[in-house]
Every structure is written in C-alpha cells, then in structure tokens.
C-alpha cells in the first residue's frame, strides 16, 4: 500500500514538472503577431511620406558658442535630411530644390516593414531613465529621426534610432552586438530592436536607386557608338552574330560588342550630381558635344536607349559625368566603363570570320538511271573474275 502511495506521489511530481516545462516552452515561442508593437495599427501601405534626418551638432555648437550674452536655446540644424515620397506604387527621393530621383524600393520596403515590427514589450526595454538615452545615442541630438506621414500629413510613427549594441572585449557571443537601440519620440523607454544588419542613414544618397539604365541584352538589335576616333554601327544578324554596318559592311568581333552591352545593360551610377539642363550639360560635357554617345536599339523596332558620357570628375579620380536617355539628372559613372567605348572599326573587324569561305550545301551523289527491272542494273564482273571457256 505504501509503495503504491509513493509511486503516485512520484508520478504526480513528474507530471507537475513536465507541465511547468511545457508551459515555459510555450511562453518562449510567442506568436510574433501577439508581441506588443511600438506603433499599433501601423501598416506600410498607409505611408505616403517618410522624413529621415540627423542634427548637425558641429554647426549648432558653433552657433551656441557665438551667441551673445546669456546662453540661448539653439534651434536644431540638420546635417542630413532625406524626404521619401510615394507616387502611385513608386518611391522617390525628393530634394529641397524639388528635384526627384527614383528611390531604392528594397531599402524603403525594409524601413517601413521595420517600423511596423518595432516591439514594445517589457522584455525588450533596456532602460527607462531619460538621462541614459545619450548612452544609447537615442537622445534627440545624436539619434537618426524617422518620421512617417500619411497622405494628409498625419504622423503615423516617429522613431529615434541610436547605436548598435557593443560586445564585451574578448566575447565570442556574436549575438551580443546584433540589433539596434531605438526609442519612440516623447517616450523615455529605450528598446533593443533585434534586427541584424539594419542601417538607417539620413544622407539622401543612401536612398537613391543607383541603377540608371537597364534592359535585356539579348533583345538588342543595333548598337551605335560615337567616340573621339569616329563612329560605327553594328547590327545583329539572323544567326545572332554581330556585323559592322557603318562605315563598312564587315563581320564584327561579337566579344567586343558584347563587352559594351554588358556594361550599359545594367548601368549603375557612382554619384548624383544635380539637375540636367542646358547649362549643366555644357558644364559637364554631356550635351550635343559629348565625348562618347552610346545608342542601343531594341529588336521591337521602337525602344531605344542613349548614354552620353562627358568630362572627367576633377574631384573624384576614376569617375566621369554622364546622362541617360531623357532623365533629368547628371550623374557620374566609373571611368573603367568608358574603356570599352573607345573601340574603333579596326578593333571591331573580325578578320578570321571574314577569311572563312562561305559554307556551301553538301553535294548529293548523282542518282543512277532507273533500270528496266529489279536486278537488271547489276555490275558486270571484272575480267579477272570471268571464267575461261
């Protein structure tokens, strides 16, 4: 009887321990959608404008230093300020001048998704002391400010983004420096947002879509190149090979033509210089007198792309000024790209292909005359095979 009682107690104790263990595991795997959010109800599709900015502490300190008399409050000055604007389903970087440039949609999507997912649970809070905000760079002077607005200008979110966590010296725990510290405007709580490799930069250049020209290389029908040494035109033949058409009709080295198309079919800029107008075209040499003009015509007979390359950028070695199609911007591209544009007609001529004889259809054996009947046209036996009489 006592044995059964002890056995019952042991089984009951194990059952309680198992239940506690399972409950703790259940709590550990919480549904992400059930985690309290910093901006409840926020959805990316409601956002029409995003403002990203960071204060210019050096300029503010200089102004405060030169302020006469008693100390006065210095108004915020912004070192960098970016405005992202949605038009239909596309995002643009809008500059103070009103100039707009396509934004990198993947970066914008990441930003909006992260604003939606910023947690606000107690386990994510690392500090509630306002004096400690500076230690995490989430105070207003040191943080990156991110403000999301809807079509009517109503504020949907205001996030202050600080520094990344720091690992202890000698630590091998790679998770120690993952994530970033954030804070909601007017809320003293500092949150550790566990998002790896997320960087928010207030510089407009960070948000630009640097892919300025893109097309399917295999669908190019005609390529025209103008460079300081002349002009040449190449066309793709029916057998998918390139042939010079101007100034001479001659087989072209396909590898040389393809090298040019490899660059321009997916062309990325180095830097956005400014708006494109007659004055800037003349200044940077990208107008009618451009050093290099590359024109690509597609096989649909309608689509065409033009790249104009001008002078070298004196401020950055290895860059040259350029414009693409009718886009209203002057940009710089890598100087190394221009090397392939310098090819002349002599460089393009494929002498090996020209020296090959034209291929002829294989000759067929002459058909023999039809015999009068089956076996009537058998060959006569040779003299050596004839029998002696």
DSSP annotation string for 138-155: -STTTSEEEEEE-TT--E
Q: Is 203 in the same domain as 278?
A: no
Q: Is 119 in the same domain as 199?
A: yes
Q: How far is CA 115 from the centre of its chain?
A: 21
Q: How many structural domains are present in the chain?
A: 2
Q: Is residue 11 part of a domain?
A: no
Q: Is 70 in the same domain as 182?
A: yes
pLDDT at 12: 55
Q: Is 60 in the same domain as 194?
A: yes
Would you say 188 and 135 are in contact if contact means Cβ atoms under 8 Å apart? Answer: no
Domain that holds residue 188: 44-168+175-207
C-alpha torsion sign, points 372, 373, 377, 383: negative
Q: Is residue 374 part of a domain?
A: no
Q: Is residue 384 part of a domain?
A: no
Q: What is the pLDDT averaged over residues 269-285?
A: 95
pLDDT at 170: 65
Q: Is 240 in the same domain as 317?
A: yes
Q: Is 202 in the same domain as 225?
A: no
Q: Is 134 in the same domain as 246?
A: no
- What CA–CA distance (Å, rounded) separates 70 from 80? 29
Confidence band, pLDDT 50/70/90 cuts, at residue 60: confident
Q: Is 183 in the same domain as 318?
A: no
Q: Is residue 262 part of a domain?
A: yes
Q: Is residue 349 part of a domain?
A: yes
Q: Is residue 248 part of a domain?
A: yes
pTM across the whole model = 0.74
Q: Is residue 367 part of a domain?
A: no
Beta carbons within 10 angstroms of residue 376's beta carbon: 8
* pLDDT tens, position by position, 289-337: 999 999 999 999 999 999 999 999 999 999 999 999 889 899 999 999 9
- What CA–CA distance (Å, rounded) separates 387 from 389? 6
- What CA–CA distance (Å, rounded) separates 2 from 18? 24
Beta carbons within 10 angstroms of residue 84's beta carbon: 23
- What CA–CA distance (Å, rounded) separates 260 from 343? 10
Closest CA to 295 of 346, 351, 347, 246: 246
Confidence band, pLDDT 50/70/90 cuts, at residue 32: very low
Q: What is the pLDDT averaged over residues 201-210?
A: 94
Q: Is 272 in the same domain as 153?
A: no
Q: Is 196 in the same domain as 314?
A: no
Which token pair is 218? 């295999």
Q: Is 228 in the same domain as 151?
A: no
* pLDDT tens, position by position, 88-139: 889 999 988 888 899 999 999 999 999 999 999 888 999 999 999 999 999 9
Which token pair is 207? 């948000």
Residue 263, classed as helix, strand or coil, is helix
Q: Is residue 278 part of a domain?
A: yes
Q: Is 226 in the same domain as 242?
A: yes
């Amino acid at each position: 009887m006592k044995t059964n009682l002890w056995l019952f107690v042991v089984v009951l104790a194990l059952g309680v321990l198992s239940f506690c263990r399972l409950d703790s595991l259940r709590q550990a795997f919480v549904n992400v959608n059930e985690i309290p959010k910093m901006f409840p109800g926020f959805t990316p599709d409601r956002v029409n404008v995003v403002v990203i900015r960071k204060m210019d502490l050096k300029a503010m300190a200089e102004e405060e230093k030169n302020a006469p008399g008693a100390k006065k409050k210095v108004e915020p000055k912004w070192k960098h300020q970016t405005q992202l604007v949605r038009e239909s389903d596309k995002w643009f970087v809008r500059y103070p001048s009103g100039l707009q440039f396509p934004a990198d949609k993947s970066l914008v999507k990441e930003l909006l998704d992260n604003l939606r997912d910023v947690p606000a649970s107690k386990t994510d809070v690392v500090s509630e002391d306002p004096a400690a905000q500076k230690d995490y760079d989430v105070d207003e002077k040191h943080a990156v400010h991110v403000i999301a607005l809807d079509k009517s200008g109503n504020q949907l979110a205001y996030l202050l983004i600080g520094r990344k966590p720091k690992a202890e010296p000698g630590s091998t725990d790679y998770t120690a420096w993952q994530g970033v510290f954030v804070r909601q405007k007017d809320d003293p709580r500092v949150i550790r947002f566990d998002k790896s490799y997320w960087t928010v930069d207030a510089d407009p250049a960070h948000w630009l879509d640097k892919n300025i020209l893109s097309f399917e290389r295999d669908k190019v029908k005609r390529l025209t190149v103008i460079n300081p040494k002349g002009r040449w035109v190449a066309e793709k033949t029916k057998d998918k090979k390139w042939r010079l058409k101007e100034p001479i009709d001659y087989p072209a080295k396909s590898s040389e033509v393809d090298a040019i198309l490899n660059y321009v079919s997916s062309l990325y800029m180095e830097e956005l210089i400014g708006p494109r107008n007659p004055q800037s075209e003349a200044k940077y040499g990208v107008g009618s007198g451009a050093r290099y003009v590359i024109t690509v015509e597609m096989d649909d007979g309608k689509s065409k792309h033009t790249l104009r390359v001008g002078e070298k950028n004196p401020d950055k070695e290895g860059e040259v000024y350029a414009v693409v199609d009718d886009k209203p911007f002057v940009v710089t591209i890598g100087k190394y790209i221009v090397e392939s544009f310098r090819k002349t007609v002599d460089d393009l001529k494929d002498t090996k292909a020209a020296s090959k004889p034209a291929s002829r259809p294989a000759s067929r054996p002459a058909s023999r005359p039809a015999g009068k009947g089956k076996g009537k046209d058998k060959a006569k036996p040779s003299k050596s095979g004839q029998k002696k009489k």
